[in-house]
């Protein structure tokens, strides 16, 4: 009985959130805002992924934009050049994510220190330059007219249709992510962050754990990129800069590291922030940077940490390692 | 008598300094073997070589009849060598229960990778439940059941030491290497920790112990090996070691030899 009640507590908020999300397009009729929310949901998948390696395993990864871009290119080229149905474009993206995880993760995670941070920054830049200059894949023009998803014979073309598709995708990814966070691998990732010296003595292969976290991060990032290419029907290297990598990190930190609610809050707010601050005109960048900085200084645990601390005080009880 | 651990001519040099010099020792099954010696005599280095954290070029380590020389740290842990650390190394943001569960990461894996885990839902839920129940049993055994859901960061030092020991126990090791377990504990915490060791020993786990605190060493060890400047100078039962002239001079200096003998 107790267990059922506990489970209800745990599963009620997500259900409420999803139901509320279903009504959003009925209330907000501005299709640009819906498009921004769609982008936020695409980004959320990349941020979920980033959370495995950076939030949980504590290895700073500034290459998520590079991965995102390669996923977008792999999918867009596959679909347009080979004339494949759009949803099949997810497959080359997954493959690209796996390859990046192993090829980039293996050398840079077997050693301690900042190597991953450095190699991932370089990786993003190299990927962007290659995408921008390689005429065979479109060069500076990018890949145009990426076709839309078709679902049961219906073309997903309006922002509202895409919104509902993304709700389904995000729910799916949220379930997978939740299950990984609460598995023995999730605990192993956090163990790597908390005290990597003690990890091998628990029988866990430290390098393997980091590479696993990084590979999952890359696969998520590449899938997000693939979906992004369908979302805007167009892929261009100039979108996949280190700035975007940093944006992903900010989204992850802003809401709250390694808590799923925190990741959702952070991603949505940071994606909408340019719109909310539009009235500032030229001062936008300045104010945006200030807000992010103030949050980093005064609320390092992210927005979600306020809620969590209050819960912790009221219940005085179990606190699941900062993982909601 | 069968041996659980055997070191053959282990040598470790850091540049010109020889930290451990040609160390050989045999540890029997069903024993608590202590390695003692003054500061800098090479005790922690020896533990590092046994469990694979420190590479060495000379010598061999045999564990339970198998040559584990040169194996990786996590491989040796999986073979049944657990350890605790001199300065507690716990996972600070996790609860006590979760810390213990990490110790059982490689126990009877039903799913060996995440993809399997995700697709075989029933299997993985059962695996998670089994792991949790086992961790709860370990907590019960070490007497920390009431702290299960506390974050380890909020625990007193002594309880953290016991938690770390519980994490080592969770992996069902045949042998646990204890690196200065009593350091920093007050007398009552020390008693609680030693009681837990004895309980685990009686249940079948052997211990290889490094310790400064003579009270602890003399009370629980069955055999003691003494190191000085990386070289073995004596070996025997606690009683033999206490009266060994070489040991006394290494610890107290030569001039005390006569006084102690009296």
Mean pLDDT split into 10-residue runs, chain B, 262 residues: 91 90 94 90 92 91 94 94 93 95 84 84 88 96 94 92 96 94 89 92 95 87 91 91 85 66 54
Report ipTM for this prediction. Answer: 0.91
Q: State how far Cα B95 lies from the chain centre.
A: 22
| CA gap B197, B178 in Å, rounded | 10
Closest by CA position to A43, among listed A32, A55, A53, A51: A51
CATH numeric code, A2-315? 1.10.3470
Distance (Å) from the alpha carbon of B221 to chain A's nearest alpha carbon: 23
**Model pLDDT for residues A213-236, shown as the tens digit of each residue:** 999 999 999 999 999 998 888 899
pLDDT tier at A321, thresholds 50, 70, 90: very low
Would the pLDDT of A308 be above 50? yes
Phi, psi of A114 (to 5 degrees): -90, 10
| Helical segments of chain A, H only | 2-27, 31-50, 64-81, 90-109, 115-133, 159-181, 184-194, 206-232, 242-255, 260-276, 284-298, 304-315
Tokens of A20: 């509320």
A206 touches chain B (CB under 8 A): yes
A312 touches chain B (CB under 8 A): no
Would the pLDDT of A129 be above 60? yes
**Burial call A135-156: b when 16+ CB within 10 Å, e when fewer:** eebbeeebbeebbbbeeeeeeb
Percent of chain A with pLDDT over 70: 93
- Residues of chain B neighbouring A216 (CB-CB closer than 8 A): 114
Quick one: closest CA in A to B130, which residue? A184
- Residues of chain A neighbouring B105 (CB-CB closer than 8 A): 184, 187-188, 202-204
- Residues of chain B neighbouring A190 (CB-CB closer than 8 A): 91, 93-94
pLDDT at A316: 38
Closest by CA position to A186, among listed A207, A212, A218: A212
Task: Tell if the CB–CB gap between A183 and B95 is shorter than 8 Å.
Answer: no
Task: Give the pairing type, strands B32-36 and B206-210.
Answer: parallel
Contacts A–B by Cβ distance under 8 A: 99
Task: Tell if the CB–CB gap between B167 and A202 is shorter than 8 Å.
Answer: yes
Q: Which of A183, A193, A201 sits opposite B128 (nearest CB)?
A: A183
Q: Where are the domains of chain B?
A: 3-90+156-261
Task: Tell if the CB–CB gap between A321 and B95 is shorter than 8 Å.
Answer: yes
What is the average per-residue pLDDT within A139-165? 86
pLDDT at A254: 87
Quick one: closest CA in A to B85, which residue? A198
Residue linked to tokens 């539009």: A278
| CA gap A150, A86 in Å, rounded | 7
**Burial call A182-218: b when 16+ CB within 10 Å, e when fewer:** ebbbbbbbbbbbbbbebbbbbbbbbbebbbbbbbbbb
Task: Tell if the CB–CB gap between A321 and B78 is shorter than 8 Å.
Answer: no
- Residues of chain B neighbouring A184 (CB-CB closer than 8 A): 101-102, 105, 127-128, 131
A184 touches chain B (CB under 8 A): yes
B130 touches chain A (CB under 8 A): no
CB atoms inside a 10 Å sphere around CB A121: 19
Task: Tell if the CB–CB gap between B77 and A200 is shorter than 8 Å.
Answer: yes
Task: Tell if the CB–CB gap between B117 and A183 is shorter than 8 Å.
Answer: yes
B126 touches chain A (CB under 8 A): no
Task: Give the pairing type, strands B223-228 and B231-236.
Answer: antiparallel
CB atoms inside a 10 Å sphere around CB A134: 13
Q: Which of A190, A199, A201 sits opposite B94 (nearest CB)?
A: A190
| CA gap A55, A323 in Å, rounded | 10
As beta bridge partners, residue A154 has A151
Would the pLDDT of A37 be above 90? yes
Q: Where are the domains of chain A?
A: 2-315
pLDDT at A3: 53
**What is the topology classification, in CATH, of domain B3-90+156-261?**
Rossmann fold (3.40.50)
3-class state of residue A27 by DSSP: helix
Would the pLDDT of A323 be above 80? no
- Residues of chain A neighbouring B82 (CB-CB closer than 8 A): 201
Quick one: closest CA in B to A190, which residue? B91
| CA gap A191, B254 in Å, rounded | 47
């Amino acid at each position: 009985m107790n267990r059922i009640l506990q489970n209800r507590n745990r599963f009620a908020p997500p259900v409420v959130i999803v139901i509320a999300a279903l009504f959003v397009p009925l209330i907000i009729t501005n299709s640009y805002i819906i498009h921004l929310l769609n982008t936020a949901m695409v980004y959320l998948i990349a941020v979920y992924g980033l959370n495995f390696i950076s939030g949980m395993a504590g290895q700073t990864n500034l290459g998520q934009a590079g991965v995102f871009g390669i996923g977008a290119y792999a999918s867009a080229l596959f679909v347009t050049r080979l004339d494949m149905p759009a949803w099949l474009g997810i497959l080359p993206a997954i493959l690209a994510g796996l390859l990046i995880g192993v090829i980039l993760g293996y050398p840079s995670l077997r050693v301690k220190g900042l190597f991953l941070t450095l190699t991932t920054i370089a990786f993003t830049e190299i990927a962007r330059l290659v995408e921008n200059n390689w005429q065979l894949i479109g060069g500076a023009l990018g890949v145009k007219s990426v076709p839309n998803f078709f679902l049961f014979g219906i073309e997903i073309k309006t922002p509202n249709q895409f919104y509902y598709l993304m709700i389904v995708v995000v729910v799916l990814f949220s379930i997978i992510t939740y299950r990984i966070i609460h598995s023995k691998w999730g605990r192993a990732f956090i163990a790597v962050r908390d005290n990597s010296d003690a990890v091998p003595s628990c029988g866990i292969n430290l390098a393997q754990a980091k590479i696993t976290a990084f590979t999952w991060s890359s696969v998520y990032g590449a899938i997000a990129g693939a979906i992004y290419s369908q979302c805007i029907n167009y892929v261009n290297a100039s979108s996949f800069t280190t700035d975007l990598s940093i944006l992903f990190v900010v989204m992850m930190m802003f809401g709250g590291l390694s808590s799923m609610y925190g990741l959702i809050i952070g991603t949505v707010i940071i994606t909408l922030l340019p719109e909310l601050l539009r009235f500032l005109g030229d001062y936008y960048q300045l104010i945006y940077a200030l807000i992010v900085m103030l949050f980093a200084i005064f609320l390092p645990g992210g927005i979600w940490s306020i809620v969590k601390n209050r819960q912790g005080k009221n219940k005085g009880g179990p606190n699941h390692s900062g993982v909601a | 008598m069968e041996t659980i651990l055997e070191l053959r001519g282990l040598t470790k040099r850091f540049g010109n300094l020889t930290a451990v010099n040609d160390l050989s020792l045999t540890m029997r099954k069903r024993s608590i073997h202590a390695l003692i010696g003054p500061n800098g005599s090479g005790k922690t280095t020896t533990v590092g070589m046994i469990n694979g954290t420190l590479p060495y070029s000379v010598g061999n380590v045999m564990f339970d009849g198998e040559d584990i020389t040169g194996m990786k740290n996590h491989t040796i842990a999986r073979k049944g060598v657990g350890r605790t650390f001199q300065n507690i190394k716990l996972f600070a943001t996790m609860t006590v229960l979760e810390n213990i569960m990490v110790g059982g990461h490689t126990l009877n894996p039903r799913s060996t990778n995440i993809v399997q885990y995700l697709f075989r839902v029933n299997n993985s839920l059962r695996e998670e439940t089994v792991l949790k129940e086992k961790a709860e049993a370990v907590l019960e055994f070490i007497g920390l059941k009431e702290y299960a859901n506390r974050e380890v960061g909020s625990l007193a030092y002594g309880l953290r030491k016991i938690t770390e020991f519980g994490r080592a126990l969770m992996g069902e090791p045949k042998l646990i290497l204890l690196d200065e377990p009593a350091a920093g504990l007050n007398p009552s915490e020390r008693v609680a920790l030693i009681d837990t060791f004895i309980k685990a020993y009686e249940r079948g786990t052997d211990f290889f112990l490094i310790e400064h605190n003579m009270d602890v060493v003399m009370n629980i060890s069955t055999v003691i090996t003494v190191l000085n400047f990386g070289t073995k100078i004596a070996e025997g039962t606690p009683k033999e070691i206490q009266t060994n002239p070489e040991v006394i001079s290494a610890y107290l200096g030569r001039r005390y030899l006569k006084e102690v003998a009296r």
